[in-house]
């Protein structure tokens, strides 16, 4: 089934939203932090190795294997070393902010489809204390 609303209209409004995001005072700083990280091969390599190691440990644990204290210590040491790098730390903060904005936009769109109208603030009160709390 094809949507009955104009794709051109949605594209225009999406472009307006993107322009609004670009015009935010902190966007330039956020973008610069991401670009700086992407230009730092050492930081990217550290990030990839840390991600791979974390995924391996998680997979090992989920498949019933025992993660040794040494493996945990090695991972935590690698993570601490990574976070000592200001480029890496700034990147993670920027990445978190990008996700926060993306999540807020997605939530607004999803709620609009769910309710059939623009959501009000009280429409978001689902009894939890917020995203990331683990209670929902």
pTM: 0.75
Closest alpha carbon to 106 in 7, 14, 5: 14
The two three-digit tokens of residue 62, written as one number: 């989920």
Q: Look at residue 80 and tell me if it is in a domain.
A: yes
Q: How many CB atoms lie within 10 A of CB 71?
A: 15
Q: Look at residue 10 and tell me if it is in a domain.
A: no
Q: Look at residue 42 and tell me if it is in a domain.
A: yes
The two three-digit tokens of residue 77, written as one number: 């040491």
- Its domain, for residue 101, covers 27-121
Q: Look at residue 133 and tell me if it is in a domain.
A: no
Q: Look at residue 73 and tell me if it is in a domain.
A: yes
| 14-57 pLDDT, tens digit each | 999 999 999 999 999 999 999 999 999 999 999 999 999 999 99
Give the per-residue SS3 of 7-70.
Answer: HHHHHHHHHHHHHHHHCCCCHHHHHHHHHHHHCCHHHHHHHHHHHHHHHHHHHHHHCCCCCCHH
| 85-125 pLDDT, tens digit each | 999 999 999 999 999 999 999 999 999 999 999 999 999 88
Count of domains in the chain?
1
Cα separation of 94 and 37, whole Å?
Answer: 10
Average pLDDT over residues 74-79: 96
């Amino acid at each position: 089934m094809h949507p009955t609303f104009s794709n051109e209209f949605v594209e225009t409004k999406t472009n307006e939203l993107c322009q609004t995001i670009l015009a935010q005072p902190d966007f330039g700083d956020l973008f610069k932090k991401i670009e700086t990280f992407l230009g730092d091969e050492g930081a990217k390599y550290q990030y990839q190795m840390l991600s791979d190691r974390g995924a391996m440990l998680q997979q090992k644990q989920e498949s019933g294997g025992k993660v040794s204290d040494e493996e945990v210590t090695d991972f935590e040491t690698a993570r601490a070393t990574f976070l000592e790098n200001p480029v890496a730390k700034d990147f993670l903060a920027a990445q978190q902010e990008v996700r926060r904005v993306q999540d807020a936009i997605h939530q607004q769109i999803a709620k609009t489809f769910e309710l059939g109208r623009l959501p009000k603030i009280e429409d978001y009160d689902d009894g939890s204390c917020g995203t990331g709390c683990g209670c929902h």
